[in-house]
Chains A and B, each alone.
Chain A
Amino acid sequence: MASDGAALRSVLTPEGVPIEVELADLGARAGAVLIDLLIIFVALFAAVLFVVLVTPATGALGFALFVILSFFLRCPFFMAFELRWRGQTPGKRVFKLRVADRRGGALSPGAVAARNLTREIEVFMPATLLLIKPSDLGGSDLDNVLALAALIWFGIFTLLPIFNRDRLRIGDMIGGTWVVYAEPVALLKDLSTKPPLRRYRFTPAELDVYGIAELQVLERLLRQPATRGTLDTRKDVLNRILDKIDWGDRDGVDGESFLTDYYAALREHLERHALFGDRRADKHEAARRRDRSTLEHP
């Protein structure tokens, strides 16, 4: 879930446990809105066809039906879905996004209403302005300038998420919400094995060279499916580790089990140190700690 450069935020649940949420990427949010708008557009189109071809309603009544439908297919569309689907719309479901309360509380119906009432100025007004032909405005230069000014003005609202840290729309600000990823992560098998099964053993000095960051890079590498690229990278990493710890018998090493065993040993080593308050974030910190401990216990 936590990919590189991800915007992580911590939310305190009512149980008092902070959970990490990852803010939705702006591209994903734009994509979700586009999908929703597409659905709305298709639904409106279908509604027009239905009114014209199937119902006996003609003229004014048909128009009334269309007007009321097109009203409910705007902001209320988003509200209804976010209420029924726990903070998701069809578009958000595709991108695995979810609306959540910024303070970690329950998402209230009021917050959902607030964040969607503002879509009028963020989505629909600019969209309408973009669709206007200059000739509809009477074609005078002043009208065009006014339309452009309005577009810029509404554009500020539309683009607001770009300009703040938490990627909030104006509706999110008023509703007290934000949009986060809610992607299921599968639990894979534990890579560490019992010591008796290990072929290779390592001294503390050989394990002191790396920190948590390197451990988790190694984990990711071991979990990747064994394509040729992965195998090449593994060979590369193996050589680097062998260099780093000055492994004696380089040619007799079985790469796969060496990496697995080194991972298990390193994890055990780092977890034990972490338990005693010595959490080594990466190899630089590991090196510093190592130096200090040799100073203290020569």
Chain B
Amino acid sequence: MPDDLLKSYRFRQEREGKWRELEALIARAERHGLKSLDAEELARAPALYRACMSSLSVARSISLDANLLAYLESLSLRAYFVVYGVRANLGQVLARFFRRDFPVAVRRTGWSNALAAGLLLAGVATGWAVTAKEPAWFEAFVSTAMAQGRTPDATRQELAETIFDKPKAADQMTAFATFLFTHNARIGMLCFALGAAFGVPVVLLLFYNGLAIGAICAVFDGKDLTVEFLAWLAIHGTTELTAIVLCGGAGLHLGGAMINPTRRTRLAALRAKGRTATILVVGAVVMLFVAALLEGLGRQLITDTTTRMAVGCTMLVLWLAYFTLGGRSVPMGPRHGQ
């Protein structure tokens, strides 16, 4: 007489086969990835997953078997991770990132980026003006390691040598470029991460970097090397500083979420804005890679001031065109994680 059995006992008897089947599939997918399942198994997986979910709902209301409940919870969770884990088709993700996500994110955070650029330029202007009037301030703005002899006391000859130095050996250039890239990329990530501290560190970081650049500008300006120095800076600087501005913009964007979360909680605001900010930083890291190539290789090989300036300006125009026009015609892709 089946009525003699516990309802929960019968429930388990009827469904256990499907759970075991799903468990075997999940175990294999966890170990070897979804690709290890054949077409038939893949077709069965969603039905088994839904059956497991419904079993879980039923079990919660009719069964008091703790082990059974724990088993179904864990099986559902594992199946859920396999079904809703990261589906990273790296090629697709990358293509979408550069064709749409990155330029759209830059436009969406326009005000933050403008503010970041403004802070950097304000730093440059302050550093330049102060150092030009009172060279003693130079030391306050530029560390000795960063100055590398480019101090107000250096002669014109010495200064010129720092920007027209002889091309180094190829491997030295590579080393220089990789060092610059990793260094700057870390600064960029730092800007992003510090954004959550209400953006204050980002403001300081941007302004302080601007001060240093401005101070060095003033030194070269004092020896009538303004154009030569700007060209030396511009060849990679237009790319590098744009990337730094974007990282700063990402930080300020996050800072904005903390300062004024509007109607959301801070956590929800941080999450919503974090999505855009992350795109900015990842894009900026790629830009920094380009900048490092320009700085490590391009600047060593191209020593002509006009060409340097031309390359720098071309890069700037290209980036700005990309940010204003990019991704306008690409349709919205499926939104993840909503």
Chain A residues in the interface with B (C-beta under 8 A): 1-2, 13-15, 17, 19-21, 57, 59-61, 63-64, 67-68, 70-71, 75, 82-84, 86-87, 98, 100-103, 105-114, 117-118, 120-122, 125, 157, 168, 170-171, 173-176, 180, 182-188, 190-192, 194-196, 212, 215-216, 219-220, 223, 264, 267-268, 270-271, 274-275
A107 touches B337 (CB 8 A): yes
Interface membership of chain B positions 37-81, coded 1 if the CB is closer than 8 angstroms to chain A and 0 otherwise? 000000000000010011011000111111110110111111011
A192 touching B71 in the complex, CB below 8 Å, given contacts A19-B80, A187-B19, A220-B66: no
B65 touches A176 (CB 8 A): no
Within 8 A of A (CB), among B185-231: 185-186, 189-190, 192-194, 196
- The distance from the CB of A65 to the nearest CB of chain B, in whole angstroms, is 8
Instruction: Give A271 to B59 CA distance when docked, in angstroms.
Output: 11
B67 touches A187 (CB 8 A): yes
B274 touches A114 (CB 8 A): yes
Instruction: Give A84 to B87 CA distance when docked, in angstroms.
Output: 9
Instruction: Give A215 to B67 CA distance when docked, in angstroms.
Output: 12
Q: Using Cβ atoms and an 8 Å threshold, which residues of chain B touch A61? A: 171, 174-175
Q: Using Cβ atoms and an 8 Å threshold, which residues of chain A touch B146? A: none
B278 touches A175 (CB 8 A): yes
B61 touches A274 (CB 8 A): yes
Instruction: Give A190 to B86 CA distance when docked, in angstroms.
Output: 35
Instruction: Give A216 to B172 CA distance when docked, in angstroms.
Output: 69
- Identify the stretch in B7-15, B122-130, B150-158, B318-326 within 8 Å (CB) of chain A at 4 or more residues: B7-15
Q: Using Cβ atoms and an 8 Å threshold, which residues of chain B touch A194? A: 4-5
A103 touches B274 (CB 8 A): no
Is B159 on the interface with A (CB-CB < 8 A)? no
A60 touches B93 (CB 8 A): no
B65 touches A174 (CB 8 A): no
- Taking a contact as CB atoms closer than 8 A, the residue among B6, B53, B193, B196 that contacts A271 in the complex is B6
Is B332 on the interface with A (CB-CB < 8 A)? no
- The distance from the CB of A225 to the nearest CB of chain B, in whole angstroms, is 14
Within 8 A of A (CB), among B131-169: 169
B171 touches A67 (CB 8 A): no
Q: Using Cβ atoms and an 8 Å threshold, which residues of chain B touch A219? A: 65-67
Instruction: Give A21 to B70 CA distance when docked, in angstroms.
Output: 11
B275 touches A109 (CB 8 A): no
A15 touches B93 (CB 8 A): no
- The distance from the CB of A200 to the nearest CB of chain B, in whole angstroms, is 16
B337 touches A182 (CB 8 A): no
Q: Number of contacts between A and B (CB, 8 Å)? A: 223
Q: Using Cβ atoms and an 8 Å threshold, which residues of chain A touch B279? A: 110
> Nearest B residue to A268 by beta-carbon distance?
B6
- Taking a contact as CB atoms closer than 8 A, the residue among B93, B176, B181 that contacts A109 in the complex is B93
- The distance from the CB of B40 to the nearest CB of chain A, in whole angstroms, is 23
Instruction: Give A175 to B67 CA distance when docked, in angstroms.
Output: 33
- The distance from the CB of B79 to the nearest CB of chain A, in whole angstroms, is 10
Interface majority SS (helix, strand, loop, mixed), chain A: helix
- Shortest Cβ-Cβ A-B pairs, 8 listed: A86-B85, A174-B274, A108-B336, A61-B171, A60-B175, A176-B271, A64-B175, A114-B278
Instruction: Give A118 to B68 CA distance when docked, in angstroms.
Output: 39
Instruction: Give A2 to B338 CA distance when docked, in angstroms.
Output: 27
Q: Using Cβ atoms and an 8 Å threshold, which residues of chain B touch A275? A: 7, 61-62
B171 touches A190 (CB 8 A): no
A117 touches B67 (CB 8 A): no
A19 touches B190 (CB 8 A): no
- The distance from the CB of A230 to the nearest CB of chain B, in whole angstroms, is 16
Within 8 A of A (CB), among B85-106: 85-88, 90, 93
Is B116 on the interface with A (CB-CB < 8 A)? no
- The distance from the CB of B74 to the nearest CB of chain A, in whole angstroms, is 4
Interface membership of chain B positions 254-284, coded 1 if the CB is closer than 8 angstroms to chain A and 0 otherwise? 1000000000000100110011011101100
Q: Using Cβ atoms and an 8 Å threshold, which residues of chain B touch A192? A: 6, 8-9, 65
B81 touches A176 (CB 8 A): no
B171 touches A112 (CB 8 A): no
A105 touches B336 (CB 8 A): yes
A17 touches B193 (CB 8 A): no
- The distance from the CB of A140 to the nearest CB of chain B, in whole angstroms, is 14
Instruction: Give A195 to B6 CA distance when docked, in angstroms.
Output: 9
Q: Using Cβ atoms and an 8 Å threshold, which residues of chain B touch A180? A: 77
Instruction: Give A194 to B190 CA distance when docked, in angstroms.
Output: 64
Instruction: Give A219 to B192 CA distance when docked, in angstroms.
Output: 51
A87 touches B81 (CB 8 A): yes
Instruction: Give A215 to B93 CA distance when docked, in angstroms.
Output: 51
Instruction: Give A15 to B50 CA distance when docked, in angstroms.
Output: 8
A17 touches B175 (CB 8 A): no
B270 touches A87 (CB 8 A): no
